Amino acid sequence: MSDVDAVLAMERAGSAKEPRRRRGRGGSGRKGWVLQTYAGLVILYLLLPIVVMIVFGFNDYQGKYNLTWQGFTLEHWGTLFDDPDLVVALQNSIVIAVIVTAISTILGTLAALAMTRYSFRGRATTNLLVFLPMATPEIVMGASLLALFITLGVPRGFGTILIAHIMFCVSFVIVTVKARTQGFNGEWEEAAKDLGATPWVTFWTVTFPLILPGVAAAAALAFALSVDDYVVTTFNAGQTVTFPLWVYGASRQGIPAQVNIMGTIIFSFGVSLSLLNVWLQKRRDASD
């Protein structure tokens, strides 16, 4: 057989296998449809409680229990802050969350930079200890902190809630910021130093802008964790009432629409922060 005949035979063999490849692509298409349907059902399952919460914030119900749809109304939005206990609880949660976010973000960012840039004795142990508050069940953490405060004679209240929230939020901040700093290009800092910039100027003009998306994501996560924490707060709150504690107390006597409305506002605020962080990240990537 000549070389030309051999080439023609190979082309005919490839043409014969082509329909089989097309059938294979069709099979993978059916599998893709199944996976897309499955993913859609999972997302629907996750979003359904949130949708119910938002919808029942507009429910024109009568009585204590906001369980069945009676009609649409905006009345409850206008009377959202008529309950003084709700206002106090919400103020406590927001103030605590802001302070916790600021402190844990600063401490966590500095710790993440130190753990990714420097080699020191006990570095591996420190990495392990960072994950312990994240892996420890909240009820164990809350009970342990309660025992610590009682042993030290520390009265429970606003201050103990701050200490407890900072303790577990710092770990989440470190892990989040480390994901950003581990891929950081140190040559840009060296270039700034070669141009005469001091370490302080280099940090604020080069390092911080580059890790800002990670820091912002960590701050948003810390704020969300602090605002909605219930288990650890229950053990260490004393007479201080936060918004999750108020929701639990209100739900024992009924389910007021204010619970749904405040949940909707907090959820919308969290989503807005996430979208803002994504937008900043895309803008920074486009500029780079």
Dihedral Cα 141, 173, 227, 46, nearest 10 deg: -90
What confidence score (pLDDT) does residue 84 get?
Answer: 86
What confidence score (pLDDT) does residue 200 get?
Answer: 82
CA distance linking residue 12 with residue 27, whole number of Å: 24
175 burial (CB, 10 Å; 0-12 / 13-18 / 19+) is middle
Which band of pLDDT confidence, cut at 50, 70 and 90, is reported for residue 286? confident
What value does the mean pLDDT of the chain take?
A: 81
What confidence score (pLDDT) does residue 174 get?
Answer: 92
pTM: 0.75
pLDDT tens per residue across span 246-267? 888 877 777 788 888 888 888 8
The encoded tokens of residue 260 equal 């749904």
Provide φ and ψ at 11, rounded to 5°: -65, -40
The helix/strand/coil state of 138 is helix
81-287 adopts what CATH topology? MetI-like fold (1.10.3720)
Domain segments of the chain as ranges = 3-58, 81-287
pLDDT tens per residue across span 181-218? 877 666 777 777 777 778 788 888 888 888 888 888 89
Sequence-ordered list of residues with C-beta below 8 angstroms from that of 66, at least 6 positions apart, any chain: 56, 59, 254, 255, 256, 257, 259, 260
The encoded tokens of residue 67 equal 């369980």
